[in-house]
């Protein structure tokens, strides 16, 4: 066959005007891909995989593991399943923390609190700040003694008795402390032991700062004639902006050295203000520590339980009083020592995702 004949045959096989050579195999493949039956075929393959024994077994194992994780995280502690618990790292030789409970005329709540914190393995001692002209009733002391003696660790229990009702009493120096760590807590706040011990491990990484469970914030509200006015923000403010600059001493760790600094180094006018207004000792301690460290506190995210039905924060005009405290303290310091942050510590064992 001559070369012109070959060219003529190839020209005759050109598919349309596209210039592509005709191929029966390509045409068959193209028609197969366009056919609606290809989707049916692919679905049938997927259905066979889905109905296969191995696939069902894989799904069953996945959900079983999820169930085990959920069950262990929620009910494990009640059945003795405590894996790598922070409580297990404490011993008398390594030290723990002193629980400093502030109370006033709520003996039933106090008894519950003492019994709970006595059961935490990290508790080395419990000091009850008693501010009442009447001494602690014998029945209350006997109940607490029995609650402590029933525990394996048997922490020391002492009443720091003050005859004057003064909020500054909660931060008086304690001469016979065996621990550097103080856990300051109100008598109506219960922090689960595992959560408390996790916060203690966080405090050990930064022992000069304050580590707690109740974050609060401040922000600049207005500035006139060179004078700045600040607002005190509660929990919803923290939640909205994702920032905090204080953690309240109703549930917080700090170094025992700050008890002495609060009493002997902090401006006396601040303590006089607190004694007169019966408020804001927690703001004063936050500012004292921030002024000493130039660092923010650390908020530990964890469940805490308030077993009381009322407190200072439930009284009228509470927010305005906190604003006044904040601004008066700032004027005495001459600046704002508080440092804002958006960092929080989370125990990943209690979270669904890392």
Distance CA 257, CA 287 (A): 15
Q: How far is CA 181 from CA 89, 124, 227, 255, 259, in A?
A: 15, 10, 38, 5, 11
145 is catalytic: no
What is the radius of gyration, based on Cα positions, of the chain? 34
- The catalytically annotated residue of 282, 317, 328, 347 is 282
**Interhelix angle for 281-293 vs 268-277, to 10°?**
160
C-alpha neighbours within 13 Å on the C-beta side of residue 35: 11
Residue 103 CA from chain centroid, whole number: 24
Smallest CA-to-CA distance from 254 within 231, 286, 284 is with 286
* Edge-to-edge strand list for the sheet holding 215-224: 227-233, 215-224, 246-247
- In sign, the C-alpha dihedral spanning 315, 184, 177, 150 is positive
Tokens of 15: 């598919």
Q: How far is CA 40 from CA 28, 44, 53, 126, in A?
A: 18, 6, 22, 72
Active-site residues: which are they?
282
């Amino acid at each position: 066959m001559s070369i012109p004949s070959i060219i003529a045959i190839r020209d005759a096989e050109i598919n349309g005007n596209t210039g592509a050579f005709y191929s029966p195999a390509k045409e068959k493949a193209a028609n197969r891909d366009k056919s609606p039956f290809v989707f049916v075929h692919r679905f049938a393959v997927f259905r066979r995989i889905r109905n296969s024994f191995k696939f069902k077994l894989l799904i069953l194992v996945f959900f079983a593991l999820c169930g085990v994780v959920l069950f262990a995280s929620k009910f494990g502690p009640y059945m003795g399943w405590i894996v790598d618990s922070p409580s297990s790292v404490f011993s008398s030789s390594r030290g723990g923390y002193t629980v400093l409970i502030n109370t006033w005329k709520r003996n039933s709540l106090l008894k519950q609190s003492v019994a709970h914190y006595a059961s935490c393995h990290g508790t080395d001692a419990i000091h009850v700040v008693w501010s009442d002209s009447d001494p602690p009733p014998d029945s209350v002391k006997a109940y607490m003694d029995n609650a402590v003696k029933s525990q394996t660790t048997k922490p020391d229990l002492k009443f720091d008795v003050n005859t004057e009702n003064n909020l500054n009493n909660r931060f008086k120096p304690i001469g016979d402390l065996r621990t550097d760590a103080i856990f300051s807590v109100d008598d109506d706040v219960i922090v689960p032991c595992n959560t408390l011990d996790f916060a203690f491990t966080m405090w050990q990484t930064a022992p000069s700062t304050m580590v707690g469970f109740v974050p609060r914030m401040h922000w600049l509200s207005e500035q006139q004639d060179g004078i700045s006015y600040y607002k005190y923000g509660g929990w919803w403010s923290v939640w909205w902006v994702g920032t905090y600059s204080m953690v309240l001493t109703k549930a917080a760790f700090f170094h025992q050295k700050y008890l002495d600094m609060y009493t002997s180094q902090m401006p006396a006018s601040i303590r006089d203000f607190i004694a007169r207004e019966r408020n804001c000792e927690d703001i004063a301690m936050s500012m004292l520590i921030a002024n000493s460290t130039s660092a923010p506190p650390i908020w530990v995210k964890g469940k805490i339980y308030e077993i009381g039905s009322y407190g200072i924060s439930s009284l009228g005009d509470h927010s305005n009083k906190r604003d006044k405290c904040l601004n008066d303290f700032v004027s005495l310091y001459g600046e704002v020592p508080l440092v804002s942050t958006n960092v929080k510590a989370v125990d990943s064992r209690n979270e669904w995702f890392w």
